[in-house]
């Protein structure tokens, strides 16, 4: 399976992101750092995310996408655009409530921008666990029905993190 990567660029008040390949939690720290950068952008009005070359997306990355939706809505009262032509990914997006938080589009036209790969970020095991916890909490925040699927993951991560703090 193609190793995952995330590309991005900005143009005026729009952020363009392209997620490619097999998107696993190991990309999480770099993706989270990019989202922090998005958050700090004062002129951010629109986000367009292209998933047309994504092969698979794990729940941590779905949670980070949910974070983008919440952040964009809080900032501009607009839903970000999510482009996906993969029927399996589209089914997952809709089942988790992403159709309420994003403008889902299945037409890949419009991504003509030159994109840069996000830089990797070194993160400790504890930092990755904290990121996974926050991402899964975002999925529950996105749609309450996700609690049935992800609450056990949240509970296990919280338990593991609290043990290490003792």
Task: Give the domain CATH number at 138.
Answer: 3.30.750.24
Section 106-129 average pLDDT: 82
Q: In the predicted model, what is the mean pLDDT of the chain?
A: 91
The pLDDT, as a whole number, for residue 3 is 81
- How does residue 158 score in pLDDT terms, banded at 50, 70 and 90? very high
Distance CA 43, CA 126 (A): 33
Token representation of residue 83: 């482009």
The pLDDT, as a whole number, for residue 113 is 65
Distance CA 164, CA 1 (A): 34
pTM assigned to the model: 0.89
The answer on pLDDT for 54 being more than 70 is: yes
Which distant-in-sequence residues (6+ apart) come within 8 Å of 161 by Cβ?
126, 129, 130, 133
The pLDDT, as a whole number, for residue 2 is 67
The pLDDT, as a whole number, for residue 24 is 94
Distance CA 138, CA 118 (A): 22
Is residue 54 within 8 A of residue 86, CB to CB? The reply is: yes
- How does residue 44 score in pLDDT terms, banded at 50, 70 and 90? confident
- Domain with 141 in it: 5-165
The answer on pLDDT for 14 being more than 80 is: yes
Distance CA 42, CA 129 (A): 29
Section 45-54 average pLDDT: 93
Which distant-in-sequence residues (6+ apart) come within 8 Å of 93 by Cβ?
82, 84, 99, 102, 104
Radius of gyration of the chain (CA): 15
Q: What is the number of domains present in the chain?
A: 1
In this predicted structure, which of 43-47, 77-81, 110-114, 152-156 has the lowest mean pLDDT? 110-114
Section 92-106 average pLDDT: 95
């Amino acid at each position: 399976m193609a190793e995952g990567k995330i590309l991005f660029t900005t143009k005026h008040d729009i952020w363009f992101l392209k997620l490619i390949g097999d998107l696993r939690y190991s990309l999480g720290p770099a993706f989270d750092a990019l989202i922090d950068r998005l958050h700090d952008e004062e002129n951010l009005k629109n986000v367009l995310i292209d998933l047309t070359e994504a092969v698979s997306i794990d729940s941590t990355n779905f949670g980070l996408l949910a974070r983008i939706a919440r952040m964009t809505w809080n900032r501009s009262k607009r839903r970000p655009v999510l482009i996906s032509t993969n029927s399996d990914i589209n089914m997952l997006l809709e089942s988790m409530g992403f159709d309420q938080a994003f403008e889902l589009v299945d037409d890949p036209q419009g991504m003509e921008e030159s994109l840069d790969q996000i830089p990797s970020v070194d993160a400790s095991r504890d930092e990755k666990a904290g990121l996974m916890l926050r991402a899964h909490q975002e999925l529950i925040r996105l749609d309450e029905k996700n609690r049935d699927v992800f609450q056990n993951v949240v509970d296990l991560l919280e338990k593991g993190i609290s043990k290490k703090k003792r």
